[in-house]
Amino acid sequence: MYIFNDNGYVGFKDKEINTILETDTEISDELYNKYFELQAQGKQFKIKNINGITFEEIFEEYIPEPVPQEPSEVDKLKAENETMKQSIAELTVLVTSMMGGGV
């Protein structure tokens, strides 16, 4: 198995399937398996030093930045509903004050 640097992130190639470039580095099955065992535990890694010997020399754990998500349609409707409720309450106060405090 070979490892390659994909803009700092990890990529793997199999010499049976992929074209191996001079910049690709052979990696042991043990390190390859450890990478996927740790990834299965929710850990993510970037390449620290592709020419390292040990797992810790080659890989560096990182925590990805959360991707902001658009609010759902339900959340948008809830927000609109709250805005409308507030507007109605403000109008009620205004109309009540214009009518001299009584309805």
Q: Do residue 92 and residue 51 come from a single domain? A: no
Q: Do residue 52 and residue 25 come from a single domain? A: yes
pTM greater than 0.75 = no
- Using an 8 Å Cβ cutoff, are 35 and 3 in contact? no
CA distance 35 to 38: 5
Q: Do residue 43 and residue 84 come from a single domain? A: no
Q: Do residue 47 and residue 88 come from a single domain? A: no
Specify the higher pLDDT residue, 65 or 11: 11
- What pLDDT sits at residue 97? 84
Query: How many domains, the chain?
Result: 2
- What pLDDT sits at residue 20? 92
- What pLDDT sits at residue 60? 92
Q: Do residue 57 and residue 19 come from a single domain? A: yes
pLDDT, tens digit (0-9, with 9 covering 90-100), for 27-78: 999 999 999 999 999 999 999 998 899 999 999 998 877 778 888 888 888 8
- What pLDDT sits at residue 102? 57
Q: Do residue 46 and residue 83 come from a single domain? A: no
Q: Do residue 77 and residue 96 come from a single domain? A: yes
Q: 74 is in which domain, residue-wise? A: 69-103
